[in-house]
Amino acid sequence: MVKTNSGIIVSGVGSFTITLTNGTFSDNGDTKLTVNENVPFKVKWNDISGSGVVSISKADPHFQSTDTIVMGTPISFTYKLATLKGQTPNIILSNSNPSMGNTQPVTVSAWNDMVFQNITMNSGYGTGVDLKVEKYEWTLPSGWTANGKTGKSVFTVPESKSISIIPDLFTIGEIKVRAMDKLDSAGSEYKTFTMDRGFKFTSYPTSITFGDNTTRTFSVAAFPGLAYEWSVPAGWQINSGQGTNTVLITPGFCSVPNDKIKVRLKSGNAVSDWLNCPTQIATPYFSSSSSTVDQYGCLTLTLQNIDLSKVQSVSISNNVSVISNQGADYTILFPTLGSVQVTATVLLKDCTTPIIISAYIIVNPSRFSITGPSAVCPGSSATFTISNAPCSAAITWACSSNLNMTVSGNTATVNNPGIFSLSSEQNSKDGSTNNLQLIPTDPPIILECGESVGWIRASISGTSISVENTLTINKVCVFSLVELASSITPEGHTILSFSPQTSAPATISWNVTPSNGVYFRDCSNSSGSFEFSNLSSGPYTITASTNNACGSSQASKIVGGPPCVGCPLFPAGSISVYPNPVSSILSIEIDQNAIAQARAMQQSATDAKSLKTNATFDVRLYNKHGRLLRQATTQGGSVQFNVTHLHDGIYYLHIYDGVSDKPEIHQIMVKH
């Protein structure tokens, strides 16, 4: 308790905080406690080699000037801790292992005194002496006694330094002893003696495979005057030797053994506990390389610990499908998700009742997928295969109607023939963008423009499980740009918007050349809007383009105006366009040598040579709405356009030399 000289016991006035080092106030580990003056408290010290400290401080600001303990000034008390931890008693036994049936006493003696380390006591003569152990705790095998006590008992010195232990007839176990502190709350390390009484199995097989009914010998150590009672699993037979220490046993495996081979010893009416033979009776079970599998996947389960020569039949539960069986290996398909119990019903020869063997497999959702390219362009083909293919389950293939497919098991070859025999030539005669006229071509051709998306699908036959891949099958063509309504900003700028006419929905990239003085107001996949500060300074070329795995396409619209029809870009006589008017074949002849020689007069010889040998001319035919109808490239010579299917009217022929971004423009009259 805490006691001061204040003499005042009033709530709050005489209260103190106690803090412990290497000790607690309760079993829950509290190390701090508030108490009133003169109220006792208990400390449970830790079992360690060292010191414990009690620190006391004032818990309330009210205190007397005469108090020894004041606010913020604690006092401490240090105590040496007496421990036996880390020490082991030095014990000697006589008759250390009495045999079965022998009750001769065992004498146990302590070889020397044990002391609490680093603890000394005042001898009364001015010298210090070691603090000695006064108690030993003995734990005996069941049925054994020591000085009339059984089980776990604490004896005081000198009694416990030498005690007489009397065993019973048969019990096997351990004698344990340790030194104890004065409160019986902690002790030294245990000294242990194993008392096997000389019993052991002297002859036995290490293991027996399930189904192996070979007769075997089992023996234990012999003890004079004792009888032996043997027990075997149900269905097994003791052929001879019952009552002796050696028997002949024939296994029986019409059921899974639920017991062991065991023996117990008898002396008159006294009987020992059953003693189990260490022979391992191998219980049959399923093994597998994995405990999980994908739905409609296969796993090989193997019957283990069973003599297959003794097996008459095996049947597998119908919640799975057996794909194949070779010996003890069963390849099994799993159609059901979740935790699946696979059961094998095994009937052994000469048995009427089968045994049941089970395994639990986790079946996860199928991960099968199609592996192959993401695009099959017109006139090409591609091969697709199945990844994580289901085991032995048939695969059904399908593809979109714009593709052809051949199938071989888990492989499909897809061909994209393109679109044959029809081409889209031009708009109707009224010049609108609707009612495109489809005119047969001869010979048939493959059109690269059209539906841009196809698909290929694989399904597990007989199930709802399928996977589908989207394929790019055509480039998206931009046929033309349709000019939408225009407007004027307050600053006088012109806003023009254009809508792309495409063969299929696509992502559009917009461009305008030259870009000086032009502002991209809003460009999307459905339209492009541009602001021109001075439209009359054109012409400007507005271009919408697309690109995917099957190619690119673009269409242009010339605005700002009007284009300089007849303005020469090339030397006179170097470009010939005839006939004009034209009804069938329009011929364009380009004399590259004449152009190069004329340019040489204004440029270096190197530039002229480069133009002569490398220049590529881009020839395009547009209708009056700016839609590109025909296009060809040449490095000189003749280009011909078939205009047979074009409607009568005015058209514009643009010739680019690959150097200037402006074309030479010729007005063409088509007349049939």
- Where are the chain's structural domains? 15-81, 91-195, 201-281, 285-364, 369-472, 478-559, 575-670
pLDDT at 251: 92
CATH class of 91-195: mainly beta
Question: pLDDT value at position 430?
Answer: 40
Other beta carbons within 10 Å of 167: 26
Domain spanning 478-559: CATH 2.60.40? yes
- Nearest of 656, 659, 572, 661 to residue 621 by alpha carbon: 656
Q: Which residue has the higher pLDDT, 85 or 342?
A: 342
Q: Which class does domain 201-281 fall in?
A: mainly beta
> What confidence score (pLDDT) does residue 429 get?
37
Q: Is a pLDDT exceeding 80 seen at residue 61?
A: no
Q: What is 575-670's CATH number, 3.40.50.10440, 3.40.50.1820, 2.60.40.10, 2.60.40.1220?
A: 2.60.40.10
Are domains 91-195 and 201-281 of this chain identical in fold?
A: yes
Which is nearest to 368 in space by CA: 391, 389, 385, 384? 389
User: What is 369-472's CATH number, 2.60.40.1080, 3.40.47.40, 3.40.710.10, 3.40.640.10?
Assistant: 2.60.40.1080
Residue 59 has a pLDDT of 62
Per CATH, domain 285-364 is 1.10.3300.10: no
Is the full-model pTM beyond 0.95? Answer: no
The band of 257, judged by pLDDT with boundaries at 50, 70 and 90, is confident
With beta carbons less than 8 A apart as the criterion, state whether 55 and 19 touch. Answer: yes
Give the tens place of pLDDT for each residue, 274-306.
999 999 888 899 999 899 999 999 999 999 988
258-288 burial: b if 16+ Cβ within 10 Å, else e: eebbbbebbeeeeebeebebebebbebbbeb
Where residue 70 falls among pLDDT bands split at 50, 70, 90? low
**608: pLDDT confidence band, cut at 50, 70 and 90?**
very low
**What would the pLDDT profile of 350-397 be if each residue is shown by its tens digit?**
888 898 999 999 999 999 899 999 999 988 999 999 998 888 878 999
pLDDT number for residue 63 = 52
Pairing status of strand 237-240 against strand 246-250: antiparallel
Say which residues have a Cβ less than 8 Å from residue 456's Cβ, sequence separation at least 6.
370, 372, 384, 397, 398, 399, 400, 403, 405, 412, 414, 468, 469, 471
pLDDT tops 90 at residue 267: yes
Q: Count H helices, E strands: the chain?
A: 2, 59
pLDDT value at residue 24: 92
Q: Return d(Cα 520, Cα 532) in angstroms, integer.
A: 9
- 355-364/292-294 β-pairing: parallel
